[in-house]
Structure 1
Amino acid sequence: MGVRTPSDETPEVFAAVGPRPLSAVLLALVLFVALVSNGRPIDAGDPRPTERVAASLVRERNFDLDEFPDVEEPFARTAGAHRVSIYPVASAVAAAPVFAVASAVFALDETGLALAGKWAASLFSAAAAALLYLAVGRRRPHRDALWTAVVFALGTTVWSTSQALWQHPLAVLGVCAALVCIVRAQDDAAWAGRAGLPLALAVAARYADIVLVGVLAVAIAVRWPRRLPLLILWAAPVVLAVLAYHQVYFGSPLRQGLAADRFSAPWGEGQLGLLMSPAKGLLVFTPVVIMAAAGLVRAFRQGDRWLASACGAAALAHWVLVGRWAEWHGGESWGPRLMTDALPLLFLFLPEGYDLAPRLTAALAALSVAVQALGAFAYDYRWERLRQRPVASAHPELWDLGHSPIAFYAARRLVLPTLPAVADGRIVLREHPIVIAGPRGSRVTFSADALRVEGADETMEDVHEERGARVQDGRLRLRGRYDGLFLRVTPGARARTLELRLVGEGSGTVYVGERGFWSPSVKWTAYPVSGRFRIRHPYTFATSGGPDVSITLARAPGTADLESVALVPPNEPERVIRNP
């Protein structure tokens, strides 16, 4: 009987072969479902022009926004005879097929545009994670590649930026595709030149990636100097297309919509904030990145010096650049949005970080996914409306640990599961807000800075403030569009005749809206108010619009300060005392 010696060992083949493309496609499909599982688009000002450019390409075969007057400055500007987006249009071009399919199913109105944009962005993000899976799988066992891709997609701002048509998803897709080319070039140098196409795509999607891409391009040229002409040739079609767009719409191939003078943040402020800010820090929202960075260092020490150096230098250069951006915090978004494009360069080495500390890496990965899931299912811009209105130039709220977005939404305990549906040719978002372990009662009052649900007769549940409604001085202050209070009539109270009583002070019109998860529309009742008011709104479930009740200003001008809200039978007092 022979003895097997080390020289007889069959070497592992993952480094030369990698995962099969079919497994990457299946992974992308699973991740796409996960990214859209919350059901609702989380739109913002920046993605809206790109969504409308995609719609314009489908409807009118052009890039202008003339048919979308709702996109105003600074998100659009007049160039020649047309209004155009200030942002790169590569994401709109790539998303146009998704918008074309969507337009055949539902109208591309405000909600339809946002949902189509979310689907396109989620598709790009899922594909990016699948490509990272292929890249990691050529260096590490397939199981390492699989969990790395999942953590990358669901434990970073890749998830949050997939909720609307930001520039990042397509840029990240380009970076991940470039990593596949770079890793494959270790065995076949022809792939080094092919990296030019995805690198150019990353810059075309997001011009701020120019430094990141430049560092990678220089590194490729140094490692494979004979492939430099091919690198340029592969990049040329995308570069020429971008320059042609600039020439047609801005009058010069070197002129574009973004202002170059926005890199004005003090040195160090943005860089530190992008790492450590309780509201926007990478180490706060994606703590597992610590192990990815440690893995990069470990790969360098183990001999993979060129790859680790190239990725590390590109990520570092990107961090320094975007830290100088005046809005380094990324505006209304969940987490360090501006660092998203550099994450593939670090997560390529996450398995090496796992080798150093498996349990710590697993714990940080789980925490990172939990933080991003909180954003996907709970984030609704309410933190910005409360903490950043009015805007303070120094942004002290970004450094307030006790009132950070993560702490705010975790304490709020509100999740917003949503199901998009088509009704009369339009998208309807069927939302079912749930306050986890929330109180029940029949009356809502307001203390110094919080609402209280009390009363022995449990007629309402899932009570929470909406949009910018703010509790101050014992009142709920409604000042903006759709600021309001939400409550759900409990199942046990729906067979009874009830009365919604509102006490407060204001001017304008207070609206009471009734809807249900399956309701096609909201049933509104308007109550004009001037000065002190006591509103008695009859509620019978059988004739109502549904069990979900909103008290709001809607779109109407005016103000309202609510002192109490009660849901009780018509002839009973509001303060019901429980008998012993």
Structure 2
Amino acid sequence: MKRATDAPPAPPTGARGANAGWRDIVIALFIGLFSFAVYNANLRAMPAADTYAARYLPFSILRHHTVLLDPIVDTVAQGRQAPLERGHHTSAFWITRGQDGHQVSTYPVLLPVVIAPLYVPAVAYLDARGWDPHLFDHVARLMEKLVASLIAAASAGLLYLLLRRRGPPAMACGLSLVYAFGTTTWAISSQALWVHGLAQLLVVAAMLLLTGPRTALRVAVAGLLCGMMAANRPPDAILGAALGLYGLWWAGPLRLLLVATALVPAGLTAAYNLIAVGHIAGGYALLVRPANYNDDFLGGVLGLLFSPTRGLFVFSPFLLVLPCLFAAAWRDKANRALTLAIAAAWVAQVVLYATVDWRQGVSYGPRWLGDMLPMLFWLLAPVVAALSRPGRMVFGIACGAAIAIQAVGAFWYLGTVDVMLVQARGDQRMHGMWQPRNAPFVAELGHPRAAPDLLRTLRGNVDLIEVAEVAGDGSELAGRTDRQIDAAGWALVDSRSPSDISVLVDGRFVAGTAEFFTRPDVVRTLGEPRPAGWRVRFAADWLAPGTHSLAVLVRPDPGAEPRLLRLRPFEVPASTPVDGRDPVLERWARLAAQRLAAHQQAHGYWLTTFTSGTDYDKPQRELNTYLNAVMLDVAGPVGGDPPLATALAKARAYLAGQIEPDGLVRYHGRPDAPTIGVLGCAITPDSDDTALAWRLAPASDRSLLPRAIATLQRFRRPDGLYRTWLAERDHYQCLDPGRDPNPADLVIQMHILMLLAQEDPPAAAALCRALAARASDDGLWVYYAGAPPMAILRLADLERAGCALELPPPRLRSDVPGQEHWVQAARLLGQMHAAPPTPAQQAQASRLLWEIAARDFALVASTPVLLYHNDLSATVRRFYWSEDIGYALWLRLYHASRQGADAAPRCDADAAARTECASR
């Protein structure tokens, strides 16, 4: 006799049982075909960079038999530069550098693997016609739209069969059509190869099995589908787990089979992630940054559900009946367990997404919450059945509004407003998401209907890439010549001029034009009289000598997705050396020194900027002694020539003047300075600035130094490390302490050790031993946890002081966007400190110098050096940046790579060294 727990579940309620009749199958097919036709009626695709790999990978799987992007990386990159090394982030964020140097998709590869069989005819066609890049791209775009719309249409048809288990044909058909056209299934899933389309198909297929009779085959397939949900999109592991838990009860004695088949896609995905990507969580894990998280949880929940730009209940207002009338779904006892699982999954996904940046990139509406739409429609069926006649009228009006909203997306959406919204940074970055005028179904109606560009064909070429020297404008450096690149070619979309073209060099936009002229050769050869020729010229002084790539992207129509016309390599010749020096780098070195001198304030100090987060957005300025001391340290060794020598002398005088009668120094300077209250506050003296000032700019009254060192010793901890603040807690001024009101920071210990190495070697040796014992302690990384350049530089300084310290490698990396250049510069300087640079180091330094100096030192201005931050456990967070340290680091690296780090005397070491520097 069977146990009760092993019995199959009760038959589903509704007009029909578990098995669909022929009539239902015909209706489901009709819904699918009708949806497929409507999805393609706009004759355009709405892709995003997230879908590029899925667009091209099926071709590579069939042709090259690999899921790696290596054979097609240039096509997938679409003119951007793929990452050159592991951990290197570029504008082609959808590509990740995986294990053994392979290029892999940042996003899961299950979708292209599943749909690859559908591409067999397309691959056969290209084999017969030839794999011309333009033809390949045209076929790939067509296949992307057709396959995406086929997947979405299939989910709509299957949803009808699922809903027939809860109600009559009219209700099931109506809700299926609302799902097809009143949700993001239309404007997102059907328009490009987003993973959301496959997610919806997996969910509805799994539910169709889980609500039907139990057989071994059904159990095996249901488990497989649940596992595929997590493999297709990691956040959907929540959905797979919810349906899987219900499935454990439904499967009864076959539950182990369900678990086993669910583990197959999960295991294969984990193996791929480890072998190809190098991280068990895949490319997602390598892409996530601190800025991707949201610290306003409640705002995230409300934004996901009610914001005019991403709110689920705004874009599909009919879904509001679910939370309002959830009791109607709960009353269905036969399906209560499944109802509970779905409700729990929905809450869990909303909670998850509320903790991250809920803007969801450039896409139409609530993209993230679209995966579980079939589950919500399963709950919707009994709720709609329970509505009164007026309630059904209101529900119908809401459905009509949702369909109209999705139609705007399908026929008008270009994403122009969304681009600005997702690029917003700072504390107010979400403000625009709540403005009704930014709702895409409102904003997008301000322009004509999007052009039907799906069938447009692109022709053209890049005929000329020429490097030329032209006379400069002499704005900052007189008598210079500038290197420019002249690029020319032609482009036609169908038989007319395109909207515009963009030129990218090494993945960076450099020029563009919307002006086209008649090319007689094109007219003569192709018989096309429309203007097709284009020509652009742009500055190229920022390009290092060697091989580079130039890509031309063509936009067929205003607002349409750009298409890759050609990707061409070209050579930039080396500048003619003058006395063994690169004249371009030499010119930039003079410019960097001039900028440093120009940025210095009249009283001899440089200012620091700070922000509230790791995005360099809306920086504010302050004065502190720390930056000026570090400037003497970093720029001192190369500061022998005017105007930098004069600027450093003024900074040294300013810093010496900050030493107070008790020998101590404050972060914002003397409390009676005129800048207090404007650029800083009267703050408690600290060990860091005291040690830096005495080593780099000692006061004329040397009798104050022993008093300062004695105060430092008074705040020495039992473990041999020195605290930050040189006062007791009840005497703190202008401080916002963290968990430890007076911490010992690792880099501050380095600064103290460098002073003690000069003044008290035994104390320095003791501090070195204490540091070595605690270097891996997270509690010591108070002010430099996300800002490693200073720690890297100090390692070389400590070695010169007789303390060879090793730090954990993860601490010497930064997750802050744009900081990899400064980390690399500091690391190279550290490697060069003991001996002249090797040829490999010189080549690496040269590349880095060119990258930083590109576009008039654009990196220095856009992503300055992140020097340090406050105690992040305090109530207010601040991150401190400096463009001027960026210029100083560049100068140090330039001189070190040219002649070795110690070829020039250290101008900050002592008075004799400063005299020697001044005489050079």
TM > 0.5 fold call: yes
- 1:264 matched to which residue of 2? 293
**Aligned mate of 1:82, from 87, 90, 102:** 102
SS in 1 for 2:67: coil
Corresponding position of 1:119 = 146
Any residues of structure 2 matched to 1:381-460 within 5 Å, and which?
381-388=415-422, 391=425, 394-410=429-445, 412=446, 414-416=448-450, 418=452, 420-421=454-455
Work out whether residues 361 and 422 of structure 2, in 8 Å CA contact, stay in contact via their aligned partners in 1. no
Letter paired with 2:294: A
CA distance in structure 2 between the partners assigned to 1:117 and 1:194 by the alignment: 26
SS in 1 for 2:293: coil
Name the TM-score, length of structure 2 as normaliser.
0.44
Matches within 5 A, 1:488-567: 510-511=514-515, 523-524=531-532
Describe how 1:134-149 pairs up with structure 2 within 5 A.
134-149=161-176
1:52 alignment counterpart:
56
Question: In the TM superposition, what whole-angstrom CA distance separates every residue of 1:409-446 from its partner, at most 9, and x where no partner exists?
Answer: 23x152135264476999xxxxxxxxxxxxxxxxxxxx
CA contact (8 A) 1:95 1:117 kept: no
AA aligned opposite 1:368: A
Residue equivalent to 2:402? 368
Helix, strand or coil: the match of 2:283?
A: coil
Distance 1:392 1:156, change over 3 A: farther
Deviations 1:59-97 (CA, angstroms, capped at 9, x unpaired): 211111122235234211111131000111011112223
Q: What is the match of residue 355 of structure 2? A: 324
Partner of 1:305: 336
Q: Which residue of 1 aligns with 2:241?
A: 214
Structure 1 pair 140–15 and aligned structure 2 pair: CA distance change class (3 A)? farther
> 2:327, 2:306 → 1: CA distance?
21
Structure 1 residue 26: Cα displacement: 3.3
Partners of 1:275 and 1:281 within 8 A in 2? yes
Report the CA distance shift for 1:153/1:521 in structure 2 as closer, same or farther (over 3 A).
Answer: farther
What CA distance in whole angstroms lies between the structure 2 residues aligned with 1:125 and 1:295? Answer: 28
SS at match of 1:348: helix
User: Which consecutive residues of structure 1, in runs of 5 or more, have no partner in the other structure?
Assistant: 1-10, 427-465, 468-477, 483-506, 531-547, 557-580
- Bigger shift: 361-370 or 389-398? 389-398
Rounded Cα–Cα distance in structure 2 between residues aligned with 1:144 and 1:551: 39
Q: CA deviation at 1:509?
A: 5.2
Q: Structure 2 vs 1, CA of residues 68 and 529 (structure 1 numbering), >3 Å: closer, same or farther?
A: closer
Maintained 8 Å contact 1:509/1:529: no
Q: Quick one: distance in 1 between partners of 2:73 and 2:536?
A: 33
Quick check: 1:510–1:527 contact (8 Å CA) kept in 2? no
Would you say 1:291 and 2:321 are equivalent positions? Answer: yes
Which of 210-219 and 233-242 deviates more?
233-242
Point out which structure has higher relative CO (alpha carbons under 8 A, 6+ apart): 1
Change (3 A) 1:513 1:229: farther
Distance 1:508 1:130, change over 3 A: closer
Deviation, 1:155, is: 0.8
CA distance in 1, matches of 2:221, 2:164: 19
Report how far residue 510 of structure 1 moved.
4.9
2:209 aligned with 1:181? yes
Residue by residue, what CA displacement relative to the aligned partner does 1:266-307 show, whole Å, maximum 9, x if unpaired? 222322211011111111111121134556531212434222
Q: Distance in 2 between matches of 1:521 and 1:409?
A: 34
For residues 104-157 of structure 1, the C-alpha deviation after alignment (integer angstroms, 9 at most, x for no partner) is: 456664443333222212111111111111111112112211111111111111
Of 188, 199, 211 in structure 2, the residue corresponding to residue 171 of structure 1 is 199
- In structure 2, stretches of 5+ residues that fail to align are 1-12, 83-89, 127-133, 461-497, 504-510, 519-526, 539-555, 566-920
Percent sequence identity is 27
Distance 2:54 2:529 in 1: 28
- Taking the aligned partners of 1:315 and 1:193, their CA distance within structure 2 comes to 25
User: 1:24: how far off?
Assistant: 2.3
Match of 2:112 in 1: 92
- Contact 2:55–2:141, Cα closer than 8 Å, also in 1: yes
Aligned counterpart, 1:18: 20
**Which stretch shows the higher mean deviation, 293-302 or 369-378?**
293-302
Kindly state the Cα deviation for residue 378 of structure 1 after the two structures are TM-superposed.
Answer: 0.2
Assess, with a 3 A threshold, how the Cα gap between structure 1 residues 169 and 549 changes in structure 2: closer, same or farther: closer
18 and 296 in structure 1: CA distance in 2 versus 1, 3 angstrom threshold: farther
The verdict on how the C-alpha distance between 1:387 and 1:232 changes in structure 2, with shifts beyond 3 A counting, is closer
Partners of 2:281 and 2:73 lie apart in 1 by 23
- Aligned partner of 2:690 in structure 1 is none
Q: How much has 1:177 moved relative to structure 2?
A: 0.7
Match of 1:29 in 2: 33
Q: Does the 8 Å CA contact 1:512/1:551 hold for their aligned counterparts?
A: no
C-alpha distance 49-424 of structure 1, shift in aligned 2 (>3 A) = closer
Helix, strand or coil at the partner of 2:346: helix
Post-superposition offset of 1:213:
1.5
Measured at CA, do residues 16 and 122 of structure 1 come closer, stay the same or move farther in structure 2, by a change above 3 Å?
Answer: same
Counterpart code for 2:321 = M
Q: In 1, distance between residues paired with 2:209 and 2:456? A: 41
Q: Which residue of 2 aligns with 1:377?
A: 411
Q: Kindly provide the amino acid, as one letter, of the partner of residue 174 in structure 1.
A: L
Shift of residue 365 of structure 1? 0.8
Q: Tell me the secondary structure at the aligned position of residue 77 of structure 1.
A: strand
Residues 520/189 of structure 1: CA separation in 2 closer, same or farther (3 Å cut): farther
SS of the equivalent of 1:46 reads helix
Structure-2 residue corresponding to 1:101? 121
Counterpart CA distance in 2 for 1:88 and 1:510 is 37
d(CA) in 1 for partners of 2:557 and 2:242? 54
Distance in 2 (alpha carbons) for counterparts of 1:284 and 1:246 = 37
Is the Cα contact below 8 Å between 2:61 and 2:67 reproduced in 1?
yes
Distance (whole Å) between structure 2 residues aligned to residue 513 and residue 38 of structure 1: 31
The alpha carbon displacement at 1:395 in A equals 2.6
- Asked if structure 1 preserves the Cα contact closer than 8 Å seen for 2:104 and 2:277, the reply is no
Flag the 1:522–1:179 CA change in 2: closer, same or farther, 3 A: farther
Which is helix-richer, 1 or 2? 2
1:314 to 335, 340, 345: 345
**Per the alignment, do residues 154 and 508 of structure 1 end up closer, same or farther by CA in structure 2, a change over 3 Å counting?**
closer
- Computed over aligned residues only, the root mean square deviation of the Cα atoms, in angstroms, reads 3.7
Q: Aligned partners of 2:36, 2:293: CA distance in 1, in Å?
A: 37
Which residue, out of 354, 357, 362, partners 2:384? 354
Q: Distance in 2 between matches of 1:269 and 1:392?
A: 15
Equivalent position of 1:433 in the other structure: none
Task: Tell me: CA distance 1:550–1:285, structure 2 relative to 1, closer, same or farther (3 Å).
Answer: closer
How far does the alpha carbon of each residue in 1:204-255 deviate from its partner, in whole angstroms, 9 at most, with x for none?
2111101221122123324555332121133233233323323431356x35
Structure 2: distance between partners of 1:273 and 1:131: 31
Q: Is the 8 A contact 1:378 1:416 kept in 2?
A: yes
User: Following the alignment from structure 1 to structure 2, what is the Cα–Cα distance between the partners of residues 362 and 513?
Assistant: 54
Structure 2 residue matching 1:150: 3-state secondary structure: helix
8 Å Cα contact 2:450-2:559 kept in structure 1: no
Counterpart-to-counterpart distance in 2, 1:299 and 1:509: 58
Deviations 1:354-406 (A, max 9, x none): 23121111111111111011000000122224555565562321111133212
Tell me the secondary structure at the aligned position of residue 268 of structure 1.
helix
Q: Distance in 2 between matches of 1:296 and 1:55?
A: 46
Q: 1:513, 1:549 within 8 Å by CA — same for their partners in 2?
A: no
2:305 aligns with one of 263, 266, 275: 275
Aligned length: 447
2:73 aligns to what SS in structure 1? coil
Verify the 8 A CA contact 2:15 2:167 in the aligned structure 1: no
Distance in 1 between residues matched to 2:438 and 2:458, nearest whole Å: 42
Q: Which one-letter code corresponds to 1:21 in the other structure?
A: I
User: Distance between the aligned counterparts of 1:420 and 1:550, measured in 2?
Assistant: 14
Taking structure 1 as reference, are residues 244 and 25 closer, same or farther at Cα in structure 2, changes over 3 Å only?
A: farther
